[in-house]
Structures are given as C-alpha cells and as structure tokens.
Amino acid sequence: MRERFDSEGRRLTRAHLGLQLIHLTGPVRVLDLRRDDTLDALGLDDQVSTARAYEIWQASRRLTDLVTQWFGDRCHGIVYRSRTTPERSANLAFFEHAPLQAHSLGTLREQPDLLERCVVGEGFEIQGWR
C-alpha cells in the first residue's frame, strides 16, 4: 500500500476505496535484484530499485527490456526492493507472460484489517472510512 499510494502522500480517497484487491497465485521464476551477486553481475547498485530519479527509472525500464530479451518466457518478472521500505519489503513486477491466476479479494473498502494497519502502522489518511 505504501508503494502504491506514495505519490498521493498515503492518502486514500473515497474513490480509492472502490479499487479491487487482487491475489495472484502461480509458480513464477524471477530475476532477484535484492541479491548483491545479481546486482554485481549486472554492474548495478541498489539505486536501480530504490531511487526516484527519472534517469534511474529509465534505466530500470531498459533493464526490463533486456531481461525479456535474455531470458524470454523463462523469466516471469523481477523482484526488487521497495522504494518506501527497502529494508523490510519487496515488490514484484510481473511480465505479461507470467503464469498467474488472479483472485479478487473484493474492494479496499471491504478490507477493514488492511485499512486499519495502513492507518495505525503506516500513517495513512483514509477519507470516507469509518
């Protein structure tokens, strides 16, 4: 939630509460950019995951293109450190061909435990809830 709503300053509007929460399942193989040996082999550092500079984001997009060229359908995505909490969480970016099944968990409004953790533990402001 922090990563998704970072640009909104961790503020959820009434409209955001209508967004669907999706659970993805399936066996995937990913390039792990959290590992030092992977970063070293690619000549990168952790900025590829955590930086906010436009140039770094552009380089990350180029890296994604290269990964699909190198591995094709054998690699289903990239796992990288979160920009907002790099020490304790990670993000997954899946490629279109990843063998995933999507299961709806309902809207954010229907997830009171998640919303409470966002407010109490992460400092979110949520309009139109409670």
Give how far Cα 129 sits from Cα of 5, 16, 20, 104, 111, Å. 16, 11, 16, 21, 11
Q: Are 28 and 101 within 8 A, CB to CB?
A: no
The answer to whether the predicted template modeling score (pTM) of the entire model surpasses 0.75 is yes
Q: Which two tokens stand for residue 64?
A: 């994604």
Identity of the amino acid at 122 = E
Sorted by where each begins, the domain ranges of the chain are 1-24+102-130, 27-99
Residues belonging to the chain: 130
Nearby residues of 125 by Cβ (< 8 Å), 6 or more positions away = 10, 11, 12, 119
Listed residue (49, 39, 41, 42) closest to 86, CA to CA: 49
Per-residue pLDDT of the chain in tens (130 residues, 90 and over written 9) = 988 898 899 999 999 999 999 999 999 999 999 999 999 999 888 888 888 888 888 888 889 999 999 999 999 999 998 887 777 789 999 999 999 999 999 999 999 999 999 999 999 999 988 7
